[in-house]
Structure 1
Amino acid sequence: MNIPTALTTFRCVAVLAIAVALLWPFGALRGVALVLFVAAALTDWFDGYLARRWRQVTPFGRMLDSIADKMLVAVVLLVLCADGTIEGLNALAAAMILTREIAIAGLREHLAAQSVVVASTLLAKWKTTVQLVAIAVLIGAPLTGLPVIATSVGLAILWVATLMTVVSGVQYAAATRGHFANEA
């Protein structure tokens, strides 16, 4: 266990703490959820930076980082849908993001069995950043003086993230289609 892997592990554990804080029925813990979410989101950049800088990139760390990213986005999106922050047609954005994340994870797992590594694209990295920003804004919106406007801004950013998510998913599918030529 090195420091980058410990940061990634923190992100995994923080996901449940964020969910509990957002759904806590005995008092407002939204501020705690926001602080935990921002800290967890920052580890997404920081753990990779440290692993590369200190030459501590490991297959386990790469795998855990991918899982932690998906857990952070998926669980918090689901909780924001459950608490009504994301509702109506905006829940479709969350559903599209979750669909792409699961599909690409499955694609990567299938191709890994064939020793094919599907590298992350620059768009996919930016998509994750935009998703994290949208979620942070949505968590923090009720804490602002203008919660309706802040929520609208968060939802607009979420739709931008959704567009980036779909485009990067199509890029992955197009880039890997040649590996399926012999499969029925």
Structure 2
Amino acid sequence: MLTLPNLLTLSRIFAVPILVFLLWRPVPIDYAITFVLYCIVGLTDYFDGYVARAKGQISRLGQFLDPIADKIMIAAVLMMLISSRKENPIPEIAGLHIIAALVILLREIIVSGLREYLASLQISMPVSQLAKWKTTFQIIALGALILGGAVPLMPWVHSVGLVCLWVAATLTLITGWDYLRTGMRHFD
């Protein structure tokens, strides 16, 4: 049960409160530390799947925890980045950009519910390649937005984060619709 891939996945979950704490005090050094931790967490996401497949250690626990770890991390970081505190030196997501964040969060909730419903019918819904790209753009977007807080004199980093956030939101809508359309075939 506690294989290396599962421990890597669990480490992502345990890193979320640390990420939240560091983003709570928005000063450049905290953003820099958060960015390093965020990158390490992102690498564990890659390596847990790689190790599980390479060593034949794919488990039901891992299949259950991996998407949850991703969603917890993405949701927590998004929420911290969209929080509107006056002391925040860079309002990462403001105005219309909050729509992209909401699209991402709402899709995750809807698809999770759909997966749970379909699982009760013993129907699996595999992750599509486009959904993997969506996750990649989400991770890059949030990383760039965090890094933008660490290097406020380089506003292009923040801009890259926002562009990737909108690409992720667009892919989120497309993949969310695909999953919903597929799942609707199994509704009564």
Q: TM-score when scaled to structure 1?
A: 0.93
Residue 109 of structure 2 corresponds to residue 105 of structure 1 = no
> Paired residue for 2:88?
none
Distance in 1 (alpha carbons) for counterparts of 2:27 and 2:145: 21
* C-alpha deviation, 1:170, in angstroms: 0.8
Query: What secondary structure sits across from 1:179 in the alignment?
Result: coil
Distance in 2 (alpha carbons) for counterparts of 1:172 and 1:11: 25
Distance in 2 (alpha carbons) for counterparts of 1:112 and 1:145: 45
* C-alpha deviation, 1:147, in angstroms: 3.5
Amino acid at match of 2:10: T
* C-alpha deviation, 1:158, in angstroms: 0.4
Closer, same or farther in 2 for the Cα pair 1:23/1:145, shift >3 Å? closer
Q: 1:124 aligns with which of 108, 131, 140?
A: 131
Distance in 2 (alpha carbons) for counterparts of 1:27 and 1:107: 39
Residue 178 of structure 2 corresponds to residue 171 of structure 1 = yes
> Paired residue for 1:136?
143
Gap regions ≥5 residues in structure 2: 85-90
Amino acid at match of 1:97: I
> Paired residue for 1:33?
34
Distance in 1 (alpha carbons) for counterparts of 2:161 and 2:135: 15
> Paired residue for 2:167?
160
Gap regions ≥5 residues in structure 1: none
> Paired residue for 2:17?
16
Q: CA RMSD in A?
A: 1.5
Structure 1 residue runs of 4 or more that deviate by more than 4 Å after TM superposition: none
> How many residues get paired?
181
Distance in 1 (alpha carbons) for counterparts of 2:25 and 2:151: 19
